[in-house]
Structure 1
Amino acid sequence: VQSEGLSASKAERVVDESVDRLVWYAGWADKITQVVGGANPVAGPFFNLTTPEATGVVAVLAPERSSLLGLVTAIAPVVVTGNTAVVVSSYSRPLAAVTLAEVLATSDVPGGVVNVLTGSAATLGPWLASHMDVNALDLLGTAGQTDLARDLEVAAADNLKRVRRAPAAEPDFTREPGLDTMTDFLELKTVWHPMGV
């Protein structure tokens, strides 16, 4: 209610949708490998297996307007696929992110998996984009800020980061997410093994 200026009933619906979204993503934790990876048919005496692996540390610029549902929708796919998230909260509405960080600190999420920073994407984004220990960058929170998004993409290119580009406008987070939100920060490793040797 305080963060987004919603009525009590709408705020309750956002919290319910956020919990449902977390449960939906959690259900993929033991399934994404089977859906994305698998045995590949090859013409030769080999086994060919593809397995997804986490990219590593993903910097997430959280949405500005949707401070809870948008935040959960940005963090959950990163974490459920085995990555670590460094999240820059909504600058104008940080309360939900700070509260979620407190919840995660006392839950079953291991320490250091989700790290929440408060501040502006314009200030923290360049540091994260150019940091050598950050492996990927989600520009969701720069929706509509084309100059900032472009500058961050250029900074990320200097050290070969994987980048999820900024949408033209903040998306409707009430829509059901797809698999691409999880696969954007996975790397596919393929192994060839001789057969019958």
Structure 2
Amino acid sequence: MTERIDVLKTYKLYIGGQFPRTESGRYYAVKNANGKLIANMCLASRKDFRDAVVAARSAFSGWSGKSAFNRSQILYRIAEMMESRRTQLIDELLLLGYKSVDANNEVSAAIDRMVYYAGWCDKYQQVFSSVNPVASPHFNFSVPEPTGVVAIVASQQSALIGLVSAIAPVIAGGNTCVVLAAEQLPLSAISFAEIIHSSDVPAGVVNILTGKVSELLKYFADHMDVNAVVTYQLTNQEMQLVKEKSALNVKRVVEYNAISWLDDTAQSPYFITDVQEIKTTWHPIETVAAGKSGY
């Protein structure tokens, strides 16, 4: 009997609810701490990023238009699917060189973080909205609304929890996103894309690319149909590039530096509001009699 050959996983990009290979046909090698080859990953190009932005923009109106409670259900469904594929996620972290206890802790934290933001989907607007006093016969309301398409450069030091912590608050607030996963820790990112794909998340809401920050960063920042750029632990030189390029269409730039991913400080409703715009509405109060106002 011949020895069986394992069927190894092919890691692709995730764009618009599909799993295409990069249009450039390029790839790069991912190795573990001992230098052993563990996967060949797609090396995303500028065209891949542009395709992902088109998908994210197409999905934005439908996703932002869903009720907050429905988005909450979908995020919770993501957590359920992560739990069901827990063993796979742990195995991939072990492949990347994690110790067993660290891999277990990271997967548990990632699942719990998704549940955390699922709980905030239908609450943050109540917390951060306001009725403003004005010196005229009007009601004046300020309400947070999603920014739009958000380009995310995920933490390059975290395989799973950093990725989940970057995506969850963005989509919880009704935005869509294009994410660049950790260059040398990308396995979990594509498996997470498979989880997204089977979790009732509409196509295009989350798009995940693998590749080099040095190549794609400028495109994340200067694309004219991206409304915000969220970065994690970039160098000063990289952040300078992001700020200069983002000025072309006055993108919002959100920069996070040192974050302890397993700590409670790595989760907060303020991460949701960082990519929200405040919309203020004036509503006239009907005048019923001279000197009085009301309905």
Backbone CA RMSD of aligned residues: 1.3
The answer on whether the counterparts of 1:3 and 1:96 sit within 8 Å (CA) in structure 2 is no
The equivalent of 1:111 in structure 2 is 203
Q: Distance in 2 between matches of 1:130 and 1:91?
A: 21
Letter in 1 for 2:282: W
* Amino acid corresponding to residue 248 of structure 2 in structure 1: D
- 1:69 deviates by 0.4
Shift of 1:42: 2.3
Which whole-Å CA distance do the structure 2 matches of 1:55 and 1:3 have between them? 37
- The answer to whether 1:173 aligns with 2:268 is no
> Which stretches of structure 1, 4 residues or more, deviate above 6 A after TM superposition?
none
Name the SS of the counterpart of 1:103 in structure 2: helix
TM-superposed CA distance for 1:166, in Å, is: 4.3
**Corresponding letter in the other structure for 2:280:** T
* Structure 1, unaligned runs of 5 or more: none
Q: Distance in 1 between matches of 2:95 and 2:135?
A: 58
**Distance in 2 of aligned mates of 1:5 and 1:148:** 27
In the alignment, residue 105 of structure 1 is paired with which amino acid? H
Q: Kindly indicate whether residue 280 of structure 2 is the aligned counterpart of residue 190 of structure 1.
A: yes
The correspondence of residues 51-66 of structure 1 with structure 2, limited to 5 A, is 51-66=143-158
Aligned partner of 1:83: which letter?
N
SS in 1 for 2:162: helix
For residues 51 and 6 of structure 1, what CA distance do their matches in structure 2 show?
Answer: 43
- 1:81 maps to a residue whose letter is G
Q: What is the deviation of 1:65?
A: 1.2
- Separation (CA, whole Å) in 1 of partners of 2:234 and 2:95: 21
1:134–1:161 CA contact under 8 A, matched in 2: yes
Gaps of 5+ in 2: 1-92, 288-295
Please say if 1:158 is aligned against 2:248: yes
Q: TM-score, normalised by structure 2?
A: 0.63
Using structure 1 for the length normalisation, give the TM-score: 0.93
Letter in 1 for 2:161: L
Given the superposition, is the C-alpha separation of residues 15 and 28 from structure 1 closer, same or farther in structure 2, using an over 3 Å criterion?
A: same
In structure 1, what is the equivalent of residue 75 of structure 2?
none
Q: Distance in 2 between matches of 1:35 and 1:72?
A: 23
What is the distance in 2 between the residues matched to 1:138 and 1:85? 10
| Larger Cα-atom Rg | 2
- Partner residue of 2:133? 41
Tell me how far apart the structure 2 counterparts of residues 86 and 92 of structure 1 sit (CA, whole Å).
Answer: 18
Residue aligning to 2:159: 67
The percent identity for this pair of structures is 42
* Matches of 1:162 and 1:93, distance apart in 2: 27
Q: How far, CA to CA, are the matches of 2:183 and 2:113 in structure 1? A: 23
Task: Give the C-alpha shift of residue 89 in structure 1.
Answer: 0.4
Letter in 2 for 1:18: A
How many angstroms apart in 2 are the aligned matches of 1:49 and 1:39?
Answer: 5
Aligned-residue offset at 1:32: 1.1
